[in-house]
Structure 1
Amino acid sequence: MIDLISVFAAAAVGGLLASLLGQPIILGYLLAGIIAGPFELGIIKDYAQVETVAELGVTFLLFTIGVEFSFAELKKVQRISLGGGGLQIFLTISLTLLVSLTLGWVTSVPQGIFLGEIISLSSTAVVLKALMEQNETATAHGQVMLGILIVQDLALGLMLAVLPALNQPVEELGIAIAIALLKLLLFALGAIAVGKWLIPPLLQLLAKTESKELFLLGVVTLCLLIAMFTGEIGLSTEMGAFVAGLMISEVEYVDQTLDAVESLRDICVAAFFAAIGVLIDPFFLWDNLPLILGLVAFVIIAKFVIVTPLVVLFRYPIKTAIISGLGLAQIGEFSFVLAEKGQEFGLVTEQVYMLILGTTAMTLIVTPFVLRLLPGFLARGESLPWLKSWLAKADAPLEVAEDLPFEDHVVVCGYGRVGSNIVKLLSDRNYRVLVIEQSQQQIEMLRNNNIPYIYGNAASVHVLEKASISQAKGMAIALPDPISSRLCLKRALKINPELDLVVRANQNEDIELFYQLGAKEVVQPEFEASLELSTHLCVGLGLPLSEVQQDIRQIRASHYLTLRPGRSKEEVSRELMEATKTMSRKWYSLPLNSPLVGKSLEEVQPRRLTGAILVTVKRSSGEKLDYPDSQTTFCEGDKLLLVGDGDELVKFDDLALGKIAIAIS
């Protein structure tokens, strides 16, 4: 009991410290387990109880992944997920088999295949968590990674099913795998029958009791019974839990099931990662550090080299491919499960098992930092002339519809729910519309509806030029992620400074930055919903419609300031630095006797003259002005935070030195 309490306490403390330090919580769980384990402080001595909770954690994690599995989501990226995901697994296993046999890491083909299976899986938990924290689940690279991860999760069931066959002699391997697949097929047919005729009435009976406790107890019992049954017939309990989740994913009580199980799952998953940490011997890691670092490098490089070309092969932009390749370049949490089962079947020695644990843990730790820093690295890389030209060529349009409009048209970036509604409303009023989209499924819809489109990255200069932005009447940016929205906004206005441009802000922190970048109007969907709801209520309560509309106009004119929570200057500065880190930026000291001194932003109009955008002014007195307005004046000793490409920053320097004439408005 003491060991059980210790693992939960260690997970809670480690997760809390990681959260306070702004690090991934899973990292806190792992390190807490290592420190509290028998190799360090020795607080946890008996692993048997901890292992039971860890097994429950994996079971419930696979169960909830099965419940959350959506065939509709998979259909959005079915080509890259099924084709690319399947190829990625096959190529990773093949490459690992070749390298491991050549270098002597394994002594037989089944062992090499098993090691390849372990490396082929990436971490659904870590990648999804990182994407959610950065609001990137709906981006092109987010959809690609999630699609491939779904296929990997499905493949885990097949891997677990054939795992017992891999310890058979090579000459009997084919027969053993065939028997395992036959078992899996019979089990799948039985699961379909149970999921169709038994599960729905059972859940309906539990729901009728209106007791959350009974519903949770019934769902947990169902999950564990199916998991136990698959273990008894020679398959794995983990695969049984996943299949149990799939049975429920298509019935009407799926949301209620998730709500009941999620809290229990989160607690058990925290214990699972802490338990993995307990197993890791830091002294073993230190003694074998060169080998483990080599394995980590092999995993990252191999998966990047495999995934990136595959994503490009399926006609995604190069940036999407690079982010997807590095984002999936780790070994997943389910590889722990495979490794443990492999040790039971004698496919890996204890030393190899410890090496797998250490390598997996290190790749899991590295991944969140890679996903957090990569967009900024790519943005800064674009300031290098050779890399900028290469990325620009790689970001050329993948496909262009016939009969594109070339003037007096409206460009809509993104054809999701918001973008498609904008297109419909404009088309109904006979405006010429051109859509920029990089989702293959959405492109097919545009093609079927005869709507002019460009298949490509809306933030690409080549794509924007192909859309004839210089001759467009207006532009609406409804992209799912803020990074692409910022770059698209800035580059579109560089091509056409007079463009009437409106942009959707998914995050409150982007509202002021979008206005600073030159947007004529910034729309925040949640605030707009609040305004419409309150308008209806106020008019219904007897307030004059004209008075209510005037208040609404004032709120919009203030950039929703009334609705936004109050923030300190320090918080605003942090948000600004975070928002601009993915853009090319530079602190610039205003030269002495600059002709800009004493003039306002409205008089100078630096964005129009140079393309560079001023987002922060730091006075010599220490005063700091984030998001300066048009009446802000330049003063001696100012330090300016500028956002712009290399040539734009050079032009701003010429402007500050008086080499470019100031056109007083």
Structure 2
Amino acid sequence: MPELAFLRDLVVLFGASIVVVYGFNRLRLPAVVGFLVAGALLGPYGLDVVDDVARVEVFAEVGVVMLLFTIGVEFSLGQLRSLRTVAGAGLLQIGSAIVLSALASIAFGLPLNQGVFWGFLAAMSSTAVVLKMVTERGETNSPHGHLIIGILIVQDLAVVPMMVVTPVLGGLGEAGLLAVVWSVAKAALAVLLILVAAWYLVPRLLVEVVRSRSRELFVITIILVCLGIAWLSSLAGLSLALGAFIAGLIVSESEYSHQAMAEILPFRDSFNSLFFISIGMLLDLRILLAHPVLVMGLVVALVGGKMVTTAGAAVVTGYSWRAAVLTGIALAQIGEFSFILAKVGKSVGLLPGESFQVFLTVSVLTLLLTPFLLQASPRLARRAEALQRLRHWLPERQTDAHGIPSRHLRDHTIVAGYGVNGRNLAQVLRETEIPFVVVDVDGETVRREQKKGIPIVFGDITHPQVLRRLGIQDARALVLAISDPIATRRAVTVARQLSPAIHIIARTRYLREIEDLRVTGADQVVPEEFETSIEIFSLVLQHYRMPVRVIAEKAERIRREGYALFRKGQPGLKEIVAKEADDLYVDD
């Protein structure tokens, strides 16, 4: 029976994946690489254990859809509006990739239309792989995390005109530019209609579902919204993944977004693993053995070329070198949507002979390299910052902390980051007349707040020259209120080297990062996870009508003993909280 055969394939895939991923985990290698290797071993070009690869790819597509849906839920419309500043970098990255590919095709004597099409394929990056890795590293809200997500969204949007232009490049399109414009206009109109309808219907639907108090109905409704809007978007010529992202954005605006995220996560992780396995199945080692120089040369050219074009596009559009380099490294692979484009290109003669299989092999190898490149990206970014000496070749931008007040600051506080924490700190410092200066890498925020009279400048806090311009030698304190853990560690190191006496206060999200930051040179580390636990502790006691004095004493003792343990590098938060809870009924 075919159903039982497919069930056998799923059992084999998940069983082998557990073994391979467990082995990779013991070797401290990323799980994504384990899934890709498992797919290569079990696929048609490996041991040929799995019979129905096409059905596996269907489940894999569901995994990508759910991944993009959860990313959309984590976003908000306000965050999406802020990504419009990324559009220029995304368009420039895509355009430069196409131009470079076209020039390379002319240099090697290939037809220009094939060169342009290879540029289409090279311009796309892997939304599924990159977002999974960035999310796991806690960098989604960092400056380069926003840049990465923004460029990926632009790339997903660009798939629509590329799909329309590909038959024209292959000589099958007769209407030319008019057909392209008309198809894109139809797609845009369809998306607008889907957005308007969904924005009107989905919130009302969720309200009625929640009133039923049925968890099963809520889960089914969320899955329907995710898959349904993705399917409608595909009918409009957009990718399923982009439709799922739109669905997530719609749900993110409701008060039920957190529960929706919790319900969809198990499905996402299960199906997403099948996506990486299905990609691994495309790896044909025979092509690599038959054309080793060609394949490895293309891998080096694609990875290196994408690093340069992506980082260059980010720098030209005003981003710091560090954010640009980290983004270039993160997006230096071929994306899953390129596989769809490649199939269309093959059908119209743009990938003749073995070109299609060579492309698949090269693409999978770039995906295999991605986790290792991301692990090495902080070190590579620090070395690449030396290229800043070439910045005088570029248009003048505020990359070196321009806009510092003319008066010389002394005994002041440097605030890095102007999010919620930085904004509140700046307000208090201003009210208490303590001199301060804020530095941020969001140019739009800097321009807006400068008009309000806030002493804020544009600059990368990890760069020594920026810290010098901010007067770190004469500053009393440095507060790192940024959400990028890698940049925080780098900034602590550089600041301590430039000013051994300065008092450094660093924000971190997790307890596990405290010891690293203290060893690096931070005087005080404020872990959001720990402070949140104290706030929850206090609210629970308030609910039980405990005296305010008792609550304050208990909170202060937990904070004092907890931070003392952190300084010693000892775990013990749970024991402290439990002890305080017991003592409530003993102390006054």
- TM-score greater than 0.5 by the shorter chain: yes
The aligned residue for residue 289 of structure 2 is: 286
Gaps of 5+ in 1: 568-665
| TM-aligned CA distance change 1:522 to 1:290, over 3 Å | same
1:52–1:547: structure 2 CA closer, same or farther, 3 Å change rule?
A: closer
Distance 1:302 1:377 in 2: 16
What's the counterpart of residue 99 of structure 1?
A: 104
Q: SS in structure 2 opposite 1:436?
A: strand
1:335 corresponds to which of 311, 325, 338: 338
Match of 2:412? 409
Cα offsets for 1:85-142 (capped at 9, x unmatched): 011112212222332354355x462x44333222111122322333333333333322
1:271/1:425 Cα in 2 relative to 1: closer, same or farther (>3 Å)? same
- Whichever residue aligns with residue 454 of structure 1, its letter is V
- Could you list the per-position Cα deviations for residues 462-487 of structure 1 after superposition, in whole angstroms to 9, with x for gaps in the alignment? 22222222222333222323443334
Q: Larger deviation: 268-277 or 11-20?
A: 11-20
Once residues 168 and 64 of structure 1 are traced to their aligned partners in structure 2, the CA distance between those partners, rounded to angstroms, is: 39
- Once residues 518 and 277 of structure 1 are traced to their aligned partners in structure 2, the CA distance between those partners, rounded to angstroms, is 43
1:214 to 214, 217, 220: 217
Aligned ranges for residues 311-460 of structure 1 at < 5 Å? 311-344=314-347, 346-349=349-352, 351-379=354-382, 387=386, 390=389, 397-460=400-463
Aligned match for 2:475, one of 455, 472, 477: 472
Q: Secondary structure at the match of 1:412?
A: strand
Matches within 5 A, 1:502-581: 502-531=505-534, 534=537, 541=546, 548=554, 551-552=557-558, 554-555=560-561, 558-560=564-566, 565=571
CA shift at 1:83, angstroms? 0.7
Offset at residue 447 of structure 1 (A): 0.6
8 Å Cα contact 1:24/1:368 also seen in 2 = yes
Counterpart Cα distance in 1 of 2:449 and 2:74: 29
Letter in 1 for 2:131: L
Measured in 2, the distance between the counterparts of 1:557 and 1:69 equals 33
**306-315 or 512-521: bigger deviation:** 512-521
Aligned partner of residue 454 in structure 1, secondary structure: strand
Change beyond 3 A, Cα 1:212–1:287: farther
Cα distance in 1, alignment partners of residues 203 and 349 from structure 2: 40
Question: How far, CA to CA, are the matches of 1:419 and 1:236 in structure 2?
Answer: 38
Q: How does 1:58-137 map to 2 (within 5 A)?
A: 58-64=64-70, 70-79=76-85, 81-104=86-109, 107=111, 109=113, 111-137=114-140
The offset of 1:32, in angstroms, is 0.7
**Could you tell me how far apart the structure 2 residues matched to 1:137 and 1:223 are?**
21
The more displaced of 308-317 and 242-251 is 242-251
* Shift in Å, 1:84: 0.8
How many Å apart are 1:67 and its aligned residue?
Answer: 5.2
Is the deviation greater in 19-28 or in 197-206? 197-206
**Larger gyration radius, structure 1 or structure 2:** 1
Structure of higher RCO (CA pairs closer than 8 Å, 6+ residues apart): 2
Residues 127/242 of structure 1: CA separation in 2 closer, same or farther (3 Å cut)? closer
Give, as a single letter, the amino acid of the residue that structure 1 aligns with 2:440.
E
Mapped partners of 1:448, 1:299: distance in 2: 43
Q: By how many angstroms is 1:224 displaced?
A: 4.8
Change (3 A) 1:159 1:67: farther
**Residue of 27, 36, 42 corresponding to 1:30:** 36
Q: Are 2:54 and 1:51 equivalent residues in the alignment? A: no
Cα separation, 2, equivalents of 1:224 and 1:549: 46
- The one-letter amino acid of 1:20's match is R
Give runs of aligned pairs for residues 249-264 of structure 1, distance below 5 A. Answer: 250=253, 253-264=256-267
Q: Which runs of structure 2 are paired with 1:136-215 in the superposition (5 Å)? A: 136-160=139-163, 167-169=170-172, 172-215=175-218
Cα displacement string for residues 595-623 of structure 1 (whole angstroms, at most 9, x for unaligned residues)? xxxxxxxxxxxxxxxxxxxxxxxxxxxxx
Structure 1 15/317 Cα, relative in aligned 2: closer, same or farther at 3 Å? same
- Secondary structure of the 2:176 match is helix
Q: Which moved more, 1:115-124 or 1:536-545?
A: 536-545
Check conservation: 1:162, 1:181, Cα contact below 8 A: no
The 10-residue stretch of structure 1 (178-187 or 227-236) with the greater mean CA deviation from structure 2: 227-236
Give the Å deviation of 1:428. Answer: 1.1
Q: Secondary structure of the equivalent of 2:333?
A: coil
After alignment, is 351-360 or 506-515 more displaced? 506-515
Native 8 Å contact 2:156 2:242 kept in 1: no
Aligned in 2, Cα 1:185/1:390: closer, same or farther, shift over 3 Å? closer
Q: Equivalents in 2 of 1:232, 1:523: separation in Å?
A: 49
Q: What's the secondary structure of 2:501's corresponding residue? A: coil
5+ residue gaps, structure 2: 1-5, 574-588
Can you list the C-alpha shifts for 1:258-281, whole angstroms capped at 9, x where unaligned? 444333233222212212222322
Indicate the larger mover: 322-331 or 422-431.
Answer: 322-331
- SS for the counterpart of 2:479 is strand
Give the alignment partner of residue 26 of structure 2, picking from 20, 31, 35: 20
Secondary structure in 1 matching 2:281: helix
- State the distance in 1 between where 2:88 and 2:447 align: 18
Distance 1:350 1:62, change over 3 A: farther
Are the aligned partners of 2:69 and 2:245 in contact in 1 as well (CA < 8 Å)? yes
Question: C-alpha deviations, 1:361-395, integer Å up to 9, x for none?
Answer: 1111112211211323455788xxxx599499999
> Is the 8 Å Cα contact of residues 534 and 559 (structure 2) preserved in structure 1?
no
Q: Following TM superposition, by how much is the alpha carbon of 1:146 offset from its aligned partner in structure 2, in angstroms?
A: 2.1
Q: Say which SS state the counterpart of residue 321 (structure 1) adopts.
A: helix
Moved more, 153-162 or 179-188: 153-162
1:545 positional shift: 7.4
Per-residue CA distance 1:504-528 (angstroms, 9 max, x = gap): 2444344344444554433223323
TM-score (norm. length: structure 2):
0.83
* Contact 2:333–2:363 (8 Å) recurs in 1: yes
Match of 1:646 in 2: none
1:293-339 superposed Cα distances (whole Å, 9 cap, x missing partner): 11111212222221222222122222222222222211122222332
Specify whether residues 468 and 189 from structure 1 end up closer, same or farther in structure 2 by C-alpha distance, changes over 3 A only: closer
Measured after TM superposition, the shift of residue 70 of structure 1 is: 3.9
The residue matched to 1:184 in structure 2 has which SS? helix
**CA contact 1:527–1:560 (8 Å) conserved in 2:** no
Partner of 1:39: 45
Report the 3-state secondary structure (helix = DSSP H, G, I; strand = E; otherwise coil) of the residue aligned with 1:279: coil
Structure 2 SS opposite 1:558:
helix
Give 1:571-650 correspondences, 5 Å limit: none
1:336 to 1:9, Cα distance in 2 relative to 1, 3 A:
farther
The answer for the alignment partner of 1:628 in structure 2 is: none
CA separation of 1:211 and 1:379: change in aligned 2, threshold 3 A: same
Alignment partner of 2:374: what SS? helix
State which drifts further: 291-300 or 541-550.
541-550
Q: CA deviation at 1:216?
A: 3.6
1:392 touches 1:461 (CA, 8 Å); kept in 2? no
Q: Distance in 2 between matches of 1:240 and 1:517?
A: 43
Query: Contact 2:325/2:381 (CA < 8 Å) preserved in 1?
Result: no
SS of the residue corresponding to residue 399 of structure 1 reads coil
Alignment-derived partner of residue 461 in structure 1:
464
CA distance, structure 1, for counterparts of residue 389 and residue 366 of structure 2:
29
Residue pair 1:392, 1:462 contacting (<8 A) in 2 also: no
Percentage of matched positions with identical amino acids: 34
| TM-score (norm. length: structure 1) | 0.74
> What is the aligned partner in structure 2 of residue 623 from structure 1?
none
Kindly indicate whether the alpha-carbon contact (under 8 Å) linking 1:315 and 1:398 is maintained by their aligned counterparts in 2: no
